[in-house]
Chain A
């Protein structure tokens, strides 16, 4: 029987730089248990709406969009543990005849008594704020029936009264998620390594109050290197713009570039450099023609991802400059030319002090345990391989022997 070829991906835990990057990504991504919680909340919100007289029988589809749809969710700007999740509520029936703001107000009314800490009407969605600081954006949408599957119009209405700027905006989040998933297939070695790492951390994470228990049965929380690199890129963006009040480069635009840059069996650091370079090149190309960066949904050109950012050339140049610094730092680190204390400083600046400290602590524990237990092995180039590393790119040439460090305090 012919078995279809599947790319295995590289295990990020085989290489020290990729390992700490993976640990950083792990610290900011939605844990498997929170993922499960989010799924439950989608269902509960839908059930609540369908139980209301206004929405009963009017919801055609209820599906995740944005980062949740492509498993790239990370904590939002300025936080290490708050998550913004998005769902689209595709409406039919009577809603098709209503104005954008009227739909948003109906949705706000139907959710007004929903058991969360706050319900907020935004320009394009209703936000439910949970006590655990998860935010769920429910975006009403109307399907355009003669277009590609689930191409829709979403509501745009600032309120509180109807205004000249109220409109419907074209989008196909569902189609984009499918496009992204097709370009970033499962890399089984990476996915297994990451899932095992999550489960292996279970007992250690138990001790940390802010992290939930990892369920026994989890799907792969990370499926491929491209998405892991995308999470790091988003985190880097969040840190760059942490003290900036205005709009920042949108996640969906970064996801587009991650999808375009995706290629199998690449190391995590190389993939992150590749994604960042692609964005820098696109900005440089736009600058060459004196234009603003323009990125639209590859399967729905009217769904423009850059409609609200960049507002001007200065904004896109600023982001390109940040990305050049990221690329340069990663390249120096890849060459092994940075002493670890300098590397740590650079990682903290790029990805945030708290998560980087946590990642380094986890790595120090793992390395120390392996050395003390003589569980490590060595590569010909003088690298250490640890038991968690699966099929290493560099094969081991020597096994460890137990020994005890000694010395005089100086």
Chain B
């Protein structure tokens, strides 16, 4: 993709156009950091999710409601494809080694849809015990600066 990081105002405009039901807010009154909260229904269940983004950092998506259910003995781990901590997991939506995301990309066209993909796969994982969405588990949380 290339180019510099998209300013928050541009990300906000993209989000409003694509996902108008998501509410926008600045984080701590900063113009460099934003938060969107909205309700989605990828497959069967309604979830309220939060997307937090600080310029030059990695976007973070959390599920606010309902509480995510874990499967303790599952081969994918008790909650697949997330970053710890277990009591406040962040969904891990792209492989940092594969250069799939950078700050010049629109959150509305990448992060948000990828979170929906995660939730859809999570729903079927809860139903079948199998994660069919692919991906891999690594051993470390990537350096965020390298993504921008």
Measured CB to CB, the residues of A under 8 A from B are 16-17, 20, 333, 335-341, 343-344, 357, 360-361, 363-365, 367-369, 371-372, 376, 378, 380-384, 397-398, 400-410
A interface majority secondary structure:
mixed
> A403 vs B120: C-alpha distance in the bound complex, in angstroms?
14
Determine if B113 and A398 form an interchain contact, defined as CB atoms under 8 angstroms apart: yes
Size category, B interface: 35 or more
Residues of chain B within 8 A of A338, CB atoms compared: 44-45
What is the CB-to-nearest-CB distance from B100 to chain A, in angstroms, rounded to a whole number? Answer: 5
Determine if B41 and A380 form an interchain contact, defined as CB atoms under 8 angstroms apart: no
Residues of chain B within 8 A of A344, CB atoms compared: 126-127
Determine if B117 and A384 form an interchain contact, defined as CB atoms under 8 angstroms apart: yes
What is the CB-to-nearest-CB distance from A343 to chain B, in angstroms, rounded to a whole number? Answer: 6
Determine if A336 and B138 form an interchain contact, defined as CB atoms under 8 angstroms apart: no
Determine if A382 and B116 form an interchain contact, defined as CB atoms under 8 angstroms apart: yes
B interface majority secondary structure:
loop
Residues of chain B within 8 A of A382, CB atoms compared: 19, 21, 38-42, 116
Q: Is B34 an interface residue when CB atoms closer than 8 A count as contact?
A: no
Determine if B42 and A383 form an interchain contact, defined as CB atoms under 8 angstroms apart: yes
Determine if A363 and B124 form an interchain contact, defined as CB atoms under 8 angstroms apart: yes
> A400 vs B101: C-alpha distance in the bound complex, in angstroms?
14
Determine if B126 and A407 form an interchain contact, defined as CB atoms under 8 angstroms apart: no
Give the residue of B42, B44, B98, B114 whose beta carbon is less than 8 angstroms from that of A343.
Answer: B44
Known: A367-B43, A380-B21, A384-B42. A406 touches B138 (CB 8 A): yes
Q: Known contacts A372-B134, A376-B117; can you find 18 more A-B pairs with CB under 8 A?
A: A337-B46, A339-B66, A339-B69, A341-B127, A364-B125, A367-B132, A368-B132, A381-B40, A382-B21, A382-B38, A382-B42, A401-B110, A402-B100, A403-B95, A403-B110, A405-B81, A407-B83, A408-B83
Q: Is B137 an interface residue when CB atoms closer than 8 A count as contact?
A: yes
Measured CB to CB, the residues of B under 8 A from A are 18-21, 38-46, 66, 69, 76-86, 89, 92-96, 98, 100-101, 108-110, 113-114, 116-118, 120-128, 130-141
Known: A368-B124, A410-B84. A400 touches B44 (CB 8 A): no
Determine if B95 and A404 form an interchain contact, defined as CB atoms under 8 angstroms apart: yes
Residues of chain A within 8 A of B132, CB atoms compared: 364-365, 367-369, 371-372
Residues of chain B within 8 A of A364, CB atoms compared: 124-125, 127-128, 130, 132
Residues of chain B within 8 A of A383, CB atoms compared: 40-43, 116
Determine if B109 and A407 form an interchain contact, defined as CB atoms under 8 angstroms apart: no
Query: Which residue in chain A gives the minimum CB-CB distance to B117?
Result: A371
Determine if A384 and B135 form an interchain contact, defined as CB atoms under 8 angstroms apart: no
The listed residue with most A CB atoms (<10 A of its CB), out of B44, B94, B118, is B44
